[in-house]
Structure 1
Amino acid sequence: MYRPLADKIRPTTLEEVVGQQHILGKGKILNRIVEGGTISNMIFYGPPGVGKTTVANIIAARAKKKFYKLNATNASIKDIQQIIEGLDSFDGINGVVLYLDEIQNFNKKQQQSLLEFIEDGRITLISSTTENPYHYIFKAIISRSTVFEFKPMQDSDVIKALVRAVDILKEDHKNTTIEVDDKALNYFSASSNGDVRKAINGLEVAINSTNPNSEGIILIDEEVARDCTQSKVFNYDMSGDSHYDILSAFQKSIRGSDADAAVHYLARLVKAGDIQSICRRLMVIASEDIGLAYPNAAMIVKACVDSANMLGFPEARIPLAQATLVLATAPKSNSVVSAIDAALQDIEQVNIGDIPVHLKDAHYSGAKALGRGIEYKYPHNYENNYIKQQYLPDNLKSRNYYVPGKNKNEKVIFDYWKKIKE
């Protein structure tokens, strides 16, 4: 039966696993667990193709317990019930190890069905997920498990796996010489974006689809690698972590005035075709992070956003890049968001009191009888269109919500009003 190359070269020992040295390196926690052979409940979190399933299989192989494997994509409560029914049999006398792949696809009820048996130790759960477990996994399961984060592979690690795959392929093609040059290996690695499985699949397609040359050699160079590799893997899910992580990095790069990083994260969002999220984030940044330091930024961004929505991709990338660079290079101030958040906090937490009577609506018959508006001073009747009077409620009259940012524009305005009010 045909076995995909990625499955054929799957490591069976920790020494064969590439990458993840922060948890698998000598003396690291997961390494110690595997070497010790004592298994606890674990959750493996990370992108596809970085070794989660491989490491889970290695750990399970070391346990002297009955081993079950389910994929939450197509498993059901019935499958879990069948495992639970076997706990009282001879096979389950020492407990069982359940490896549950893609656990985020189990709903709350399905996850809860495991709790009793995880808690008393009859089931040891090793689960994997590509989504943030703190968002998608039932909190009671998380509290009984150790979460290990798997990182995207470095190019050097992916190339190690590719070299190992080539060696195995040579064994399968003993009557044919296979040569994969360094540029091809580098291309497979770079286009995989840290996904070892993706890189190996590309290599397998290249070798299986390339005929031997006149010298009987299957030669895989960069050109062949390009032909046999799909578009670069890009980890992006509109409802998942990658979506919010990229948006977060995008805004923080603009806030930090790093134009290069801002354009980089914009390119990721453009590649994903997520025009709505880009536009919304640019609009809020214009007020949240630039605000009164450069008020015109909001108008420029609105114009760029309107242009982008009218154009659509691919041309939309241009006005979006313009808006991004305007914001990244603009002076920064968070005085707007600080002011409104401070005011909202008072509304939530403080007895705000009544509106001063002289500010209340006086445009109706009988208003004067209620004292409405009688003591109100109309600012335009005074010099510089200003007259001192109380506007905040009595309970808040000493509050100061707006604190000018330390930038040229707000300083000029602050100095102007300071002079007028004095």
Structure 2
Amino acid sequence: MEPDLFTAAAEERQEKDPSSSPLAVRMRPRTLDEVVGQQHLLKPGSPLRRLVGEAGRGPAGPSSVFLWGPPGTGKTTLAYVVSKATDKRFVELSAITAGVKEVRAVIEGARRAAGGFGKETVLFLDEIHRFSKAQQDSLLPAVENRWVTLIAATTENPHFSVNSPLLSRSLLLTLEPLTDEDLRALLRRALADERGLGGAVTLPGDAEAHLLRIAGGDARRVLTALEAAAGAALAKREPEITLETLEETVDRAAVAYDRDGDQHYDVASALIKSIRGSDVDAALHYLARMIEAGEDPRFIARRLMISASEDIGLADPTALPTAVAAAQAVAMIGFPEAALTLSHATIALALAPKSNAATLAIFAAREDVRRGLAGPVPAHLRDGHYKGAEKLGHAQGYVYPHDVPGGIAAQEYAPEAVRDRRYYEPTRYGAEARYADVADRVRERLGRTGRDGSAPA
């Protein structure tokens, strides 16, 4: 029996008894116009609009589409809508459980359906990044010959996880995390729509805000939590889903945290100050509060990158690369796995030796510039790569450091106004002790010892 027959049976059962299906399934959009979010993919004339054959939308759409985005952003929904709008057979496979045998069976079924009944097939393949190279190659003939309309979903960058021949024959569409406004619209539709809760309960503002915070941009997660909380409220014969009922149901306390208010800045400040103070446990506490409150992981990663330069600097030269790598990983994987990456970086930064010497150095240098201590660039340092530079004396007398033993040429580099200023005052903490020794030796070689080395107040 083919997989789409199971799908058809499930749809028939849902029509007879809608409550038999999860709320997220019942509220699945039936048309592209019902889809929330992803408006950048749903404009008139877009590939998705052409794929469903909307009149006046231009030429036929592509035969293979890759949907790349975080969980719960609508990848399965878009595939389902395409199949319903085009009246095509819809077959769903997951790369977690299916293999080459199952793929070939679907392709053969698609060829029979097309030849015998003139019925085209949409093959939705979830988690395609889990397929091996050989498994992905098995899809190529079906894509090239248009035996199926392939819609493949992945949460990982397909440029790294999908074979180039398959990806080059496909259209890649990137889905964005749903915004609070998208999820709010989805919640209110589910509360009122007969397919959903049909007005059986209400959702006050504080409970709605908590649901949005724990959703993490995931539509499936927010509807699943709403359904569970609604069931609990109805069991207690309560007309609304109170915050207390919601907390009990989803086993998540409502963290006092407003992403646009004081708590946002206070907790973020406490995180950075705990890292600066090397209190790894306090730092992890504040990180956990931000994660549980649904803070944007990219915001947290940005703060960690700033902390690596501001408070650690050259005391641990690996701190900034660690923070940058964490930010890149967060952007690629998103929550919930991104929590592990943020924890990794937070622990590393909290336990790293601390130095703000790099921070004070640029502050002092900028303050001198603001006070007018600049002056002309020494003539021998100026650009000499143009006609007439030699007559002006530009680049004349410049000593190329690579031609000097030790690689340090004793010549003036700073303008006259600041040649006696010393901005970088390294600490003796961690790896910066080595930089302190190097800085002393270089300054001595440049003949800058014995001068006023005080930095501006």
> TM-score interval w.r.t. the shorter chain?
0.5 to 0.7
TM-fit CA distance, 1:100: 0.7
- Is the contact between residue 44 and residue 128 of structure 1 (CA under 8 Å) also seen in structure 2? yes
TM-fit CA distance, 1:228: 1.6
- Is the contact between residue 309 and residue 358 of structure 2 (CA under 8 Å) also seen in structure 1? no
TM-fit CA distance, 1:88: 4.2
TM-fit CA distance, 1:6: 0.5
Gaps of 5+ in 1: 233-253, 273-280, 302-314, 334-391
Could you say which residue in structure 2 is the equivalent of 1:237?
A: none
Counterpart secondary structure, 1:210: helix
Could you say which residue in structure 2 is the equivalent of 1:9?
A: 27
TM-fit CA distance, 1:416: 2.2
Could you say which residue in structure 2 is the equivalent of 1:45?
A: 68
1:123 to 1:300, Cα distance in 2 relative to 1, 3 A: closer
1:76 to 1:413, Cα distance in 2 relative to 1, 3 A: same
1:119 paired to 2:144: yes
1:398 to 1:8, Cα distance in 2 relative to 1, 3 A: farther
TM-fit CA distance, 1:295: 4.4
Residue identity opposite 1:225 in structure 2: L
Counterpart secondary structure, 2:446: helix
- Is the contact between residue 408 and residue 442 of structure 2 (CA under 8 Å) also seen in structure 1? no
Which structure 2 residues correspond to residues 1-400 of structure 1 after superposition, within 5 A? 2-26=20-44, 28-34=46-52, 35=54, 36=57, 38-63=61-86, 65-92=88-115, 95-168=120-193, 177-211=200-234, 217-231=238-252, 267=287, 295-297=314-316, 320=348, 322-323=350-351, 326=354, 330-331=358-359
* Alpha-carbon distance in 1 for matches of 2:290, 2:197: 42
Residue number among 400, 417, 421 corresponding to 2:445 in the alignment: 417
Aligned residues: 309
Gaps of 5+ in 2: 1-12, 14-19, 254-271, 278-282, 293-300, 321-342, 362-400, 414-421, 426-434, 450-457
Counterpart secondary structure, 2:240: strand
- Is the contact between residue 38 and residue 176 of structure 2 (CA under 8 Å) also seen in structure 1? yes
* Alpha-carbon distance in 1 for matches of 2:37, 2:344: 38
Counterpart secondary structure, 2:233: coil
1:167 to 1:331, Cα distance in 2 relative to 1, 3 A: same
Residue identity opposite 1:118 in structure 2: V
* Alpha-carbon distance in 2 for matches of 1:46, 1:194: 11
- Is the contact between residue 211 and residue 218 of structure 1 (CA under 8 Å) also seen in structure 2? yes
Cα deviations across residues 241-296 of structure 1 (Å, max 9, x unaligned)? xxxxxxxxxxxxx9xxx99xxx89x9379969xxxxxxxx9xxx99x9799x9644
1:223 to 1:111, Cα distance in 2 relative to 1, 3 A: same
Residue identity opposite 1:195 in structure 2: D
Could you say which residue in structure 2 is the equivalent of 1:408?
A: 424
1:412 to 1:138, Cα distance in 2 relative to 1, 3 A: same
Residue identity opposite 1:133 in structure 2: P
Scaled by the length of structure 2, the TM-score of the pair is: 0.55
1:182 to 1:330, Cα distance in 2 relative to 1, 3 A: same
Residue identity opposite 1:224 in structure 2: T
TM-fit CA distance, 1:420: 8.5
TM-fit CA distance, 1:122: 2.1
Cα deviations across residues 306-354 of structure 1 (Å, max 9, x unaligned)? xxxxxxxxx9999756457946884399xxxxxxxxxxxxxxxxxxxxx
